[in-house]
């Protein structure tokens, strides 16, 4: 099993919407160490949103629902554990 440790989203919005996104992030992630906004002039739109920590992955999902044109530019996965092969058989429902 893996958890997302970091995800970088590109909402494809222009700079005039940056404050709206910052306000959204502040409302949903009060700890400002959990997220950041930085410029990106390589793609359509002008900034990216980086969300950190497995506890914020539901917020990242909510962000993508609020801004459905968002692209995932990067994700960093952290391996947590592997399932025992015999235990995995318990979850094999076949075809």
Q: Is residue 47 part of a domain?
A: yes
Q: Is residue 94 part of a domain?
A: no
Q: How confident is the model at residue 82 (pLDDT cuts 50, 70, 90)?
A: low
Q: Is residue 63 part of a domain?
A: yes
Q: Is residue 95 part of a domain?
A: no
Q: Is residue 31 part of a domain?
A: yes
Other beta carbons within 10 Å of 75: 15
Q: Is residue 39 part of a domain?
A: yes
Instruction: Write the CATH number for 63.
Output: 3.30.70
Helices (H), the chain: 18-28, 57-66, 85-89
Q: Is residue 36 part of a domain?
A: yes
Q: What is the DSSP letter of 15?
A: G
Q: Is residue 50 part of a domain?
A: yes
pLDDT in tens, 13-63: 999 999 999 999 999 999 999 999 999 887 678 999 999 998 888 899 999
Q: Is the pLDDT of residue 3 over 80?
A: no
Is the model's pTM score more than 0.85?
no
Q: Is the pLDDT of residue 93 over 50?
A: no
Higher pLDDT, 39 or 83: 39
φ and ψ at residue 13, rounded to 5 degrees: -115, 155
> What's the number of domains the chain is made of?
1
pLDDT computed for residue 10 by the predictor: 94
- Give residue 55's domain range: 2-89
């Amino acid at each position: 099993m893996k958890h997302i440790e970091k995800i970088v989203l590109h909402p494809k919005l222009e700079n005039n919407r940056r404050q709206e996104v910052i306000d959204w992030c502040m409302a949903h992630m009060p700890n400002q160490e959990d997220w950041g906004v930085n410029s990106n002039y390589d793609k359509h739109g002008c900034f990216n949103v980086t969300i950190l920590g497995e506890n914020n992955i539901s917020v990242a999902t909510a962000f993508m629902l609020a801004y459905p044109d968002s692209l995932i530019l990067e994700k960093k996965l952290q391996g947590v554990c592997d399932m025992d092969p015999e235990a995995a058989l318990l979850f094999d429902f076949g075809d």
